[in-house]
Structure 1
Amino acid sequence: MAEGDQLQDLLQFLTLETRLDVLSVALHHVLGLTGSVDGIRLFKSDKRYLEAIFTLTRHPQESVATDSYLALVNLSTDVAMAKIITFDYDLVSDFVQYVLKSDSVYADFVCGILSNITRDEHCCEKVLEEIEKSESGLSEVVEVICKDKFNPKNKLHYLGQLLSNLTQLPQARRFILDKERCVVQRLLAFTEYEGSVIRRGGIIGTLKNCCFETAYHLWLLSDEVDILPRLLLPLAGPEELSEEDMDGMPEDLQFLEDDKQREPDPAIRKMLIGAIFQLCATKEGRKIVKDKRAYVILRELDKQETDPEVSSVCHKLISLLISDEPEEGMENLNEVEIPEDVQRELTQADEEEKSNQIKKE
């Protein structure tokens, strides 16, 4: 039987009134379809199936509601489906409010949906708009992220990825970097968070995105925030350094324990290096990063690094730190006009990084 015919036959059983054993079998088949490209294409062809799944998330039987949410998580990985979920139904506000309630049973699944749909910039704008409509706005999202056991039944790790996606947008970055709110300082603690690679990676992605705001670099590098040691510490290993190497280095990076472990995830190591690279965009920023001996940590990382992509970005940053300063008028690297062929390469590399992260999740 063709998948389209199979889905058509299943629709009649996807109701709250269907006998539980029959519904469970039908939903199991639906869940399988949402995990394939061809299956997702079928769901895009007729919204009745999507609407049936929305309805079944309210089913009193936990297994049915769980499979329904899982189906939505799968469907939301597709950009076209993400846009349908975001713009064709008035659900985003409900999703946001749901994950911010401490007693929500299926909050992790809804976090996954929000994380998926906000990969698209237009969907991301819609989600941020709905978040900002609430009295607390992004403040509440940050509060929940910073509380490990906010919801006893859910871990909410994908809120970190959601925040990272939201900081694609300038207004979200400005909130994180508001000097009166002390938000970025709270997030720094998560660069070595061991509870979840997803939450840790999401927060580090958030910090990296914020580092694109050149106007805040000196503040981020100042004692008021002191972001550099928090970015370098996960990249540091147990190697014994000489006094000359440590001269000027932040105290947190000196005399590390013999069992000090580097960040195990290569995608996160790459993000950390990328964040530091951004902080070197201006002459003033480069001087601070150089004076604090970031080169030494990166040099030791490079000796041990086995991932070719991480090695590549590490080499580029090391080259920047040990090279002579650009000629006058070219000191701000973010304002230098990039040749079209180089811009294409950078765009392609960024898209490949995002694609790898999606596959990993």
Structure 2
Amino acid sequence: MEELRELLQFLDLNQRLDLKAVALSHVLSLTGSAEGRKLILEFPELMQAVVKLTTDKTHTIAKDATLALINLTGDESGAVTLHEACQSCPETSGIIPWSLEQIVDEKSKLADPWCMVLSNLSRAESLSTKVLDEIDKDEKLILLLANAFSRIGYNKEAKLHYIASIFCNLTQSSRGRKLLCESKHNLLQKLLPFISYQDNIIRRGGIIGVLKNICFDPVYHDILLKDHDGILCSLLTPLAGPEEFTEEENDKLPVELQYLGEDKLREEDPDLRKMLLESLLQLCATKKYREFLRSKGTYEILREYHKWEAKVGGDREALLACENVVDILIRKEDEIGVDNIRDVDIPSHLGEKFIEDDKNFIEDK
């Protein structure tokens, strides 16, 4: 701690560049270990100094300072501690608004690392609320975020993939889901195409996470599946392959899923496949949407997917997630016997048995 106190004098915007660079390099290296982060997170003045240096006119200094913040906010306790330290200092109290400003700035050279900082901050529920508070102050801000994400090349200095993670974090709350689903700007429609974005797993994984969070909220099932097939196509396309269907089966499918080419590939990441299947399972909660999914050929897509996962994909958790959806879709409604599956009260002993059965299935016993 004494060594860090000595470094503090060199972590100043007005300090000589060479001294500032050496001191910041040492701090950055410390943030690479749990012990180093613990020391820094116990030193509010040092955290405040690092945040100030993210505004340094020398790009390498500002970048190293921002990279240090990414490491310090890597877990929830660090994110909360850093935010609290900045709140006690007027000059650094705006870490959330500053990060948002940098992310939507088309010329910011540090937009990508700031995306990662805000992604880390917004994972904490208390800080996610503060991010939403900041977005609510300016109705244009959420549209700017969506445009920055959806327009490839928006910022020539940044990829902005981690905006997807920010949206995913925000939609873990009902307030965040409302922001995307009820926007007059059709924000959700701007994000959906990136569910199949093959160039970056962070980008497509974040948007799959957004859709999963929304599917888990029955309030939005009407919005998700009303009057168009776009949401369902977004969920099914990554699970669909090049298999051929009968003419009758093809007629069921949304147009976008009919006659896919021989080069059609499925989502390569098993965790993302599982998330897509879990989203579909949530949409099976009520009779209305079970019938909708059946009418759109969801079973037929999953039937072929199941064959592929069993032979090629090889992920038991994804296979189980698929079977959970198929088991519902292949049943007739009089067999299911309830409108909303969520209303079914499962005795504790049966619940424990189902959990054990799933565990044995995943372990291939």
- In which range does the TM-score fall when normalised by the shorter chain? 0.7 to 0.9
* Greater mean alpha carbon deviation, residues 143-152 or residues 11-20: 11-20
Cα distance in 2 for residues equivalent to 1:111 and 1:286: 38
Are 2:85 and 1:77 equivalent residues in the alignment? no
* Code of the aligned partner of 1:65: A
Cα pair 2:229 2:254 within 8 Å, conserved: no
Q: Structure 2 CA distance, aligned partners of 1:157 and 1:302? A: 30
Contact 1:31/1:67 (<8 A) preserved:
yes
Aligned residue number for residue 330 of structure 2: 322
**Is contact 2:41-2:82 (8 Å) kept?**
no
Contact 1:158/1:198, CA 8 A, preserved across alignment: yes
CA deviation vs aligned residue, 1:129-181 (integer Å, no higher than 9, x gap): 11111132423322222211221211111111101111112122123222744
- Per-residue CA shift, 1:289-339, capped at 9, x if unaligned? 122121222222222222232222122122222234477874213344566
CA contact (8 A) 1:163 1:203 kept: yes
Q: Which amino acid aligns with 1:56?
A: L
Query: Equivalents in 2 of 1:221, 1:182: separation in Å?
Result: 14
- The corresponding residue for 2:166 is 162
Shift of 1:97: 2.1
Partner-residue secondary structure (3-state), 1:118: helix
Amino acid in structure 1 at the alignment position of 2:147: E
Q: 2:250 aligns with which of 233, 238, 246?
A: 246
- CA distance in structure 2 between the aligned counterparts of 1:251 and 1:76, rounded to whole angstroms: 44
Answer yes or no: is the 8 Å Cα contact 2:239–2:267 preserved in 1.
Answer: yes
Q: Distance in 2 between matches of 1:14 and 1:186?
A: 41
Please tell me the root mean square deviation across aligned C-alpha atoms, in Å: 2.6
Equivalent residue, structure 2, for 1:23:
20
Please tell me whether the aligned partners of residues 102 and 151 of structure 1 are also in contact (alpha carbons under 8 angstroms).
yes
Aligned twin of 2:56: 59
Distance 2:223 2:200 in 1: 29
Gaps of 5+ in 2: 88-92, 359-365
**Aligned counterparts of 1:185 and 1:87: Cα–Cα separation in 2:** 35
CA distance in 2, matches of 1:275, 1:242: 27
- Counterpart of 1:276 (choices 268, 275, 280) is 280
Residue 190 of structure 2 corresponds to residue 186 of structure 1: yes
Q: Hey, what does 2:361 align to over in structure 1?
A: none
Letter in 2 for 1:53: V
Counterpart of 1:132 in structure 2 is 136
Distance in structure 1 (CA, Å) of the matches to 2:63 and 2:214: 35
2:40/2:46 contact within 8 Å kept: yes
- Residue of structure 1 in register with 2:176 after alignment: 172
Q: What is the 5 A alignment of 1:187-336?
A: 187-224=191-228, 226-305=230-309, 306-325=314-333, 330-336=338-344
TM-score (norm 1): 0.86
1: distance between equivalents of 2:296 and 2:325?
14
**Structure 1 Cα separation of the partners of residues 267 and 118 of structure 2:** 26
Residue by residue over 1:259-284, the C-alpha shift from the partner in whole angstroms, topping out at 9 and shown as x without a partner, is 11111222222221122111111111
Inter-partner Cα distance in structure 1 for 2:141 and 2:9: 40
Structure 1 residues 36 and 14, CA, compared in 2 at 3 Å: closer, same or farther? same
- Alpha-carbon separation, structure 1, partners of 2:183 and 2:116: 30
Q: 3-state SS of the aligned residue for 1:246?
A: helix
Q: Which residue of 2 aligns with 1:354?
A: none
Q: 1:131 and 1:339 mapped to 2: Cα distance?
A: 43
**Aligned in 2, Cα 1:181/1:13: closer, same or farther, shift over 3 Å?**
closer
Q: CA deviation at 1:34?
A: 1.0
Distance 1:299 1:35 in 2: 46
State the shift of 1:28 in Å: 2.2
C-alpha contact 1:86 1:126 (8 A) present in aligned 2? no
Range moving further from structure 2, 217-226 or 54-63: 217-226
**Structure 1 gaps, min length 5:** 350-361
| TM-score (structure 2 length as normaliser) | 0.85
Identity %: 40
Rate the CA distance shift 1:316–1:238 in 2: closer, same or farther, 3 A. Answer: same
Distance 1:43-1:327 versus aligned 2 partners, 3 A rule: farther
Q: Tell whether the 8 Å contact from 1:191 to 1:204 is kept in structure 2 after alignment.
A: yes
Aligned CA distance change for structure 1 residues 256 and 217 (closer, same or farther; 3 Å): same
